[in-house]
């Protein structure tokens, strides 16, 4: 989900230079503060003093937002593609060094930033200089110094503020070793391949070394030539013939060594748990308690959006004022929409994004045939451990309850429809804990898409919860039926793209035929009723080719219905056709993965777009489902190998999953996992998936860094402000949870389970132990879990000792 830039840290572009005279050829209007303030402006809380080349203001501390206090000037002419140097002299008298925001931006809403920086001011006058390249033509851009939200009162004095043209100096990311491997490891009995970036056109010698440097295997690379997505000439190394367990091995090609990795039978065991634990840390409306604060990062935080000042809360939220919403919709009721997950790095909660994430978490359980780790009661961080319910269902329920709360009450206009989202009225800054969010909250107009999302996941959840909580299962099914009926009555209430200018993303969608198909499929599988069978058969998606190069998404959900029609036991007459179509779809992704020198299920011309890592994972979901349907080992092997790219076998030599590998993403875009902006806050938790390369470069930080262009796989920055390449979202982590659980089930590259979910029931001893743990206060569980968690984190730290 797109989060507007509100604070940028680009250390590579900051230069503290010796004091120098003002540049006479600058583009900033005004007389250099020698006469009057004009054409500069100041907000009403400030009393600017101008003279002798300085602008000074007294700024109150502890204001809620950076833009509470501003000095600035309009009329700065900038041209797209032109590089500039912004410089100024500043000093600040204060008991605490304030950090301010400096922006070159549109002078009117939506205030899109061309560049933004966050200098921390000193008491002594210091020269600051920044380089940036304009992203758009703005004949009258605004230069703004946003001074609010400082920890204490301060006095700021500015002088010699200039912007001048200069030559471009783009930032290039470092790319590590040329030998790209899955930094987590490989199954001993499975495929083991790596990709090498090398100019050579002839085969190169390779050796597999143990931790002491002894040679375990050797051979020659397979040259694959120029590869467009990486912008490099590549070779592939296949060392699958080595089938012995080994820790800390490395692959050496033509004298250059890879990062160390493991070969064994259980290399993936901890990844699904970490991927699923992410959701607890993303919860809204509940105090988060870190089960292992001794590891150096404390994820504990107060409950967000429960109305404890300054937070205005989600317990009684009204609708968006009609004048601020396209179509003029409003309502006269308030809803308790507390709970649920924060969608991404902001405070928004979006039904359509939560819907696909709930679906995938519930599918993690529905496809599973065992009580494997991440699915067992008590395996995850959430507080529900020991309640006799698989943790993954408990986690999905947290969002399901929120989605139920978003349904329009009976007796109101559009009763049974579901509000599209709840969000802040304005974007908040980074960093910011959810409990400290001061903005008012508002419900946005119901949409047919959101309504059908609830209909689908509530129907799916009803059949899964029947064995654990029949009353909740009945409530879910009733809500699903109500939503289905409401969507049929109002089939074209679309979420507009225009509803994303401030405070939250739009999630616009003007084609909901796919959501109708998905919801009908889930209701059919849960109820077996002819009405829903007829709706499935009448849908244009019933026989449509579902192939999408970049996979299914929150806005393209027909595949979700088809996958479940194919895999869930039912009397549906079209099940065989659904199964065949899923396998045929998987074959296309399998062919792409087999041909790709990085092993990913993308065809050569597939665009790396926003959330490309989730697109890869969702294509792997299809391939993995084909294995569930056919037990053809080719599909399992391709799904496993597809994880290599995410864990380091890529053009940037980085793992996109925090805590897994030698070098991994640590600065994903988030307001509260924002350690680089506030050292008191933690980084993203282990198991967080970064969005990945995005050729669109749709944030100022990425656009500045790659102003000279980038090969698709290289269009990524591990920067907290690069929201278009480095965001975290619940529906990306849900895809990681599904695939990593599937891969972990393939112990040593061979499946450990078979048979449909209906064949599995927990053995009596398992639940007896669970009951005993509950009776004992679950004390033993927490001891074991602390040790296990520490072990997981220690393993990650050993892979990244720096």
Residue ranges with strand state E in 174-259: 179-180, 185-187, 193-197, 205-209, 215-220, 222-227, 232-238, 246-253, 256-257
At 396, list the tokens: 């999905």
Work out whether the CA dihedral 434, 437, 443, 449 comes out positive or negative.
negative
**Number of Cβ within a 10 Å radius of residue 718:** 19
Q: Cα(237)–Cα(196) distance, rounded to whole angstroms? A: 7
Verify whether residue 603 is a known catalytic residue: no
Q: Which helix (H) or strand (E) holds 442?
A: strand 441-443
- CA angle 19/25/27 to nearest 5° reads 100
At 610, list the tokens: 């926003």
Candidate list 116, 160, 346, 366, residue with the active-site label? 346
Verify whether residue 675 is a known catalytic residue: no
Verify whether residue 669 is a known catalytic residue: yes
Candidate list 395, 515, 699, 727, residue with the active-site label? 727
Kindly give the pairing relationship between strand 205-209 and strand 215-220: antiparallel
Strand, coil or helix: what is 140?
Answer: strand
Residue ranges with strand state E in 62-167: 70-78, 83-94, 101-105, 113-117, 126-133, 138-146, 154-166
Q: What distances in angstroms separate CA 383 from CA 1, 372, 378, 541, one per listed residue?
A: 28, 19, 9, 40
8 Å CB contact between 66 and 146: yes
Q: What distances in angstroms separate CA 630 from CA 69, 369, 563, 636, one per listed residue?
A: 63, 15, 14, 10
Verify whether residue 346 is a known catalytic residue: yes
b/e map 269-300, b = 16+ CB within 10 Å: bbbbbbbbbbbbbbbbbbebebbbeebebebe
**Number of Cβ within a 10 Å radius of residue 573:** 10
At 451, list the tokens: 């309504």
Candidate list 669, 675, 699, 719, residue with the active-site label? 669
- CA angle 748/375/265 to nearest 5° reads 10
**Number of Cβ within a 10 Å radius of residue 752:** 12
Task: Please state at what angle helix 558-567 crosses helix 612-630, rounded to 10 degrees.
Answer: 20
CA 631 to chain CA centroid, Å, is 31
Q: Which helix (H) or strand (E) holds 15?
A: strand 14-17
DSSP 406: T
Q: Cα(183)–Cα(647) distance, rounded to whole angstroms? A: 6
Closest CA to 624 of 678, 540, 559: 559
8 Å CB contact between 127 and 18: yes
8 Å CB contact between 181 and 261: yes
Q: Cα(614)–Cα(241) distance, rounded to whole angstroms? A: 31
**Class of residue 741 by CB neighbours under 10 A (exposed 0-12, middle 13-18, buried 19+):** buried
Residue whose tokens read 């509260």: 672
At 93, list the tokens: 């008298």
Candidate list 295, 499, 718, 745, residue with the active-site label? 718
Closest CA to 178 of 198, 192, 202, 201: 198
At 38, list the tokens: 């004009």
b/e map 621-635, b = 16+ CB within 10 Å: bbbbbbbbbeeeeeb
Q: Cα(98)–Cα(156) distance, rounded to whole angstroms? A: 9
Give catalytic residue positions: 346, 669, 718, 727
């Amino acid at each position: 989900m797109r989060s507007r830039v509100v604070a940028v840290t680009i250390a590579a572009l900051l230069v503290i230079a010796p004091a120098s005279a003002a540049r006479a050829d600058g583009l900033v209007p005004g007389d250099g503060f020698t006469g009057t303030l004009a054409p500069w402006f100041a907000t009403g809380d400030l009393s600017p003093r101008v003279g002798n080349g300085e602008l000074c203001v007294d700024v109150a501390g502890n204001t809620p937002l950076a833009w509470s206090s501003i000095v600035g000037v309009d009329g700065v002419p900038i041209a797209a593609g032109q590089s500039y140097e912004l410089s100024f002299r500043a000093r600040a008298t204060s008991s605490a060094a304030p950090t301010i925001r400096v922006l070159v931006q549109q002078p009117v809403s939506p205030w899109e930033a061309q560049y933004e920086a966050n200098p921390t001011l000193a008491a002594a006058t210091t020269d600051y200089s920044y380089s940036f390249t304009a992203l758009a033509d703005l004949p009258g851009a605004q230069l703004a110094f946003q001074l609010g939200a400082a920890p204490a009162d301060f006095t700021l004095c500015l002088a010699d503020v200039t912007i001048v043209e200069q030559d471009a100096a783009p930032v290039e990311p470092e790319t590590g070793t040329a030998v790209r491997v899955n930094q987590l490891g490989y199954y001993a009995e499975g495929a083991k391949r790596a990709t090498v970036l090398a100019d050579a056109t002839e085969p190169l010698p390779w050796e597999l070394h143990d931790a002491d440097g002894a040679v375990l295997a050797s051979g020659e690379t397979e040259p694959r030539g120029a590869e467009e997505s990486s912008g490099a000439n590549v070779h592939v190394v296949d060392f699958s013939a080595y089938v012995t367990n080994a820790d800390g091995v490395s692959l050496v090609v033509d004298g250059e060594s890879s990062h160390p990795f493991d070969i064994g039978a259980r290399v993936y065991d901890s990844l699904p748990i970490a991927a699923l634990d992410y959701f607890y840390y993303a919860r809204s409306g509940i105090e988060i308690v870190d089960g292992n604060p001794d590891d150096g990062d404390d994820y504990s935080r107060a409950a967000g959006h429960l109305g404890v000042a300054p937070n205005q809360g989600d317990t009684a939220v009204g609708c968006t004022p009609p004048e601020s919403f396209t179509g003029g919709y409003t309502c006269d009721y308030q809803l308790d929409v507390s709970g649920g997950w924060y969608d991404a790095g902001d405070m928004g909660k979006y039904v359509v994004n939560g819907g696909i994430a709930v679906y995938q978490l519930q599918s993690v359980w529905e496809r599973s045939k065992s009580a494997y780790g991440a699915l067992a009661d008590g395996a995850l961080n959430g507080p529900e451990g020991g309640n006799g319910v698989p943790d993954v269902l408990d986690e999905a329920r947290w969002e399901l309850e929120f989605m139920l709360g978003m349904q329009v009450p009976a007796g109101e206009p559009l009763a049974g429809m579901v509000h599209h989202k709840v969000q802040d009225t304005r974007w908040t800054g980074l960093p910011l804990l959810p409990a400290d969010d001061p903005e008012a909250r508002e419900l946005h107009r119901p949409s047919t898409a959101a309504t059908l999302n609830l209909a689908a996941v509530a129907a799916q959840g009803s059949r899964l919860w029947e064995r654990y909580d029949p009353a909740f299962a009945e409530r879910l099914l009733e809500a699903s039926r109500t939503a289905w009926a409401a969507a049929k009555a109002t089939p074209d209430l679309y979420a507009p793209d225009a509803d994303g200018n401030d405070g939250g993303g739009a999630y616009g969608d003007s084609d909901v035929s796919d959501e109708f198909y998905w919801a009908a499929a889930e209701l059919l599988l849960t109820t077996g009723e002819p009405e829903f069978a007829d709706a499935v058969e009448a849908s244009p998606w019933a026989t449509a080719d579902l192939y999408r190069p970049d996979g299914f998404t929150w806005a393209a959900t027909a595949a979700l219905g088809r996958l479940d029609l194919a895999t869930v036991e039912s009397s549906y007459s079209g099940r065989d056709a659904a199964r065949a179509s899923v396998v045929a779809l998987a074959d296309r992704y399998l062919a792409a993965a087999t041909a790709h020198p990085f092993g990913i299920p993308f065809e050569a011309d597939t665009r790396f777009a926003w959330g490309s890592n989730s697109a890869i994972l969702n294509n792997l979901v299809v391939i993995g489902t084909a294995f569930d349907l056919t037990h053809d080992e080719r599909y399992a092997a391709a799904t496993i190998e597809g994880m290599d790219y995410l864990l380091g076998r890529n053009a940037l030599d980085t793992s996109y999953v925090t805590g897994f590998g030698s070098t991994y993403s640590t600065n994903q875009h988030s307001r509260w996992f924002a350690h680089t902006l506030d050292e008191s806050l933690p980084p993203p938790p282990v198991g967080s998936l970064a969005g990945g390369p995005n050729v669109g470069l749709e944030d100022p930080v990425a656009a500045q860094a790659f102003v000279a262009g980038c090969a698709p796989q290289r269009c990524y920055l591990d920067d907290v402000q690069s929201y278009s390449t480095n965001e975290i979202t619940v529906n990306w982590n849900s895809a990681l949870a599904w695939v990593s659980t599937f891969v972990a089930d393939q112990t040593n590259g061979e499946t450990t389970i078979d048979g449909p979910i209906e064949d599995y029931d927990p053995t009596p001893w398992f639940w007896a132990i669970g009951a005993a743990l509950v009776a004992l206060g679950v004390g033993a569980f927490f001891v074991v879990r602390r040790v296990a968690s520490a072990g997981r984190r220690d393993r990650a730290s050993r892979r990244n000792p720096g």
